[in-house]
């Protein structure tokens, strides 16, 4: 063998031996996390619409018969306490009723005075005096009732009793209004609820007080709330159970906004791992466990998952180290190393 060929063979052998010593077998760079025993709350995901809290809606009504002369607001408009809502003109029949009450009260008062005078002169009996007194009291009571409902006003402007948002305006200009009929409803500012539709099988596990997480969406920050009430019947249209969630008073969210919500159920104890550790093959879930410097594939049964964590029902023990990063291309038995 020539000297040049001999030298090349020696150098090549040296390089191969050095490479074998430096990295005797290929390995994958991974990140590990310990499986731990903890409590994890399963979540129900649902969608709903923001509406006024029915416990904080004020109804403005017309106490007497009238006709709408003007409407000053529209649904969805923000109003301050005392701002005009509608102008109502008293109906002719209501005016006539009031005038009759005035006439009756005037006549009863004069008759009572006259009867008192006759009684003083012993020209009227005590029973006649009592009858006149009662008639006068009844007539004054009727007149007072008419005045309380505003029948003595030809025109009246109804105003907002509280600051809030106009939820509804019932009549239109020129419409007749019956006594006690709703003219408008005012939703108090800051008092809104989220009406969620939940599957009946999930609603069974819900209770007032369950935590509700509203992820950041539609320009709104993340919020937390609590379930206020759970319906006891299925909505015939949506076939879902209505769940009412009062929102924080400082939640600046428009009525009518559609939001996604995640509701926590009662927490469950078990072995939990980061959700990033899980992989699936069809209906089978598996992960990789670090054992003796190698990745061992392990089939596991997942009870449920949240956004970041999974509760393992079987196939994994607490304190075992699982691979949470670097699973791409990883196989059972692959040598692994971790970065410091």
The domain 92-148 is placed in CATH, from the list 1.10.287, 3.30.700, 1.10.8, 3.40.50, at: 1.10.287
pLDDT at 44 over 70: yes
Range 38-56 average pLDDT:
92
pLDDT at 18 over 60: no
List the domain boundaries for the chain. Answer: 28-40+269-338, 43-54+190-264, 92-148
- The model's confidence at residue 340, banded by pLDDT at 50, 70 and 90, is low
pLDDT at 14 over 50: no
In angstroms, the CA 138 to CA 133 distance is 9
What is the model's pLDDT at position 26? 77
Distances (CA, A) of 269 to 37, 44, 303, 311, 326: 7, 18, 11, 8, 28
Is-same-fold flag (28-40+269-338; 92-148)? no
- The model's confidence at residue 324, banded by pLDDT at 50, 70 and 90, is very high
Domain 28-40+269-338 grouped into CATH 3.10.350.10: no
What is the model's pLDDT at position 25? 63
What is the model's pLDDT at position 199? 94
Distance of CA 110 to the CA centre of its chain: 62
What is the model's pLDDT at position 32? 95
**Short-list 164, 183, 159, 173, CA closest to 77:** 164
What is the model's pLDDT at position 20? 45
CATH, domain range 43-54+190-264: 2.40.30.170
Instruction: Report residue 69 as tokens.
Output: 């002369």
What is the model's pLDDT at position 172? 87
Average pLDDT along the chain = 89
Sequence-ordered list of residues with C-beta below 8 angstroms from that of 275, at least 6 positions apart, any chain: 305, 306, 307, 308, 309, 310
Residue range 129-177, pLDDT digits in tens? 999 999 999 999 999 999 998 888 889 999 999 999 999 998 888 999 9
How many other β-carbons are positioned within 10 Å of the β-carbon of residue 224? 11
Q: What is the 3-state secondary structure (H, E, C) of the chain?
A: CCHHHHHHHHHHHHHHHHHHHHCCCCCEEEEEEECEEEEECCEEEEEEEEEECHHHEEEEEECCCEEEEEECCCCCCEECCCCEEEEEEECHHHHHHHHHHHHHHHHHHHHHHHHHHHHHCCCCCHHHHHHHHHHHHHHHHHHHHHHHCCCCCCEEEEECCCCEEEEEECCCCCCEECCCEEEEEEEECCCEEEEEEECHHHHCCCCCCCEEEECCECCECCEEEECCEEEEEECCCCCCEEEEEECCCCCCCCCCCEEEEEEECCCEEEEEEEHHHCEEECCEEEEEEEECCEEEEEEEEEEEECCCEEEEEECCCCCCEEEEECCCCCCCCCEEEECC
pTM, full prediction: 0.63
Range 205-210 average pLDDT:
93
Sign of CA dihedral 308, 309, 315, 321: positive
Range 245-255 average pLDDT:
90
């Amino acid at each position: 063998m020539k000297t040049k060929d001999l030298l090349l063979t020696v150098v090549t052998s040296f390089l191969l031996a050095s490479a074998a010593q430096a990295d005797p077998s290929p390995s994958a760079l991974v990140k590990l996390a310990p499986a731990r025993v903890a409590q994890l709350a399963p979540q129900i995901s649902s969608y709903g619409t923001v509406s006024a809290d029915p416990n904080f809606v004020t109804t403005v009504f017309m106490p007497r018969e009238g006709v709408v002369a003007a409407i000053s607001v529209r649904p969805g408009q923000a109003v301050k306490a005392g701002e005009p809502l509608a102008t109502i003109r008293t109906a002719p029949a209501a005016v006539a009723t009031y005038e009759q009450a005035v006439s009756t009260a005037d006549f009863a008062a004069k008759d009572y005075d006259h009867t008192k005078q006759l009684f003083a002169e012993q020209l009227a009996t005590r029973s006649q005096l009592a009858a006149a007194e009662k008639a006068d009291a009844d007539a004054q009571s009727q007149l007072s009732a008419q005045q309380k409902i505003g029948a003595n006003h030809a025109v009246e402007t109804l105003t907002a009793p509280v600051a809030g948002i106009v939820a509804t305006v019932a009549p239109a200009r020129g419409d007749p209004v019956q006594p006690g009929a709703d003219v408008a409803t005012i939703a108090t500012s800051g008092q809104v609820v989220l009406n969620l539709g939940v599957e009946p099988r999930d609603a069974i596990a819900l209770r007032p007080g369950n935590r509700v997480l509203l992820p950041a969406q539609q320009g709104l920050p993340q919020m937390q709330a609590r379930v206020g009430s759970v319906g006891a019947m299925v909505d015939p249209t949506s076939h879902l159970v209505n769940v009412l969630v009062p929102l924080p008073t400082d939640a600046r969210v428009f009525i009518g906004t559609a939001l996604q919500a995640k509701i926590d159920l009662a927490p469950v104890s078990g072995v939990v791992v980061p959700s990033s550790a899980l992989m699936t093959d069809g209906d089978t879930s598996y992960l990789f466990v670090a054992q003796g410097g190698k990745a061992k594939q392990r089939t596991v049964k997942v009870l449920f998952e949240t956004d970041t964590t999974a509760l393992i029902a079987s196939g994994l023990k607490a304190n075992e180290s699982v691979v949470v990063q670097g699973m791409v291309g990883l196989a059972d038995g692959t040598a692994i190393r971790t970065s410091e």
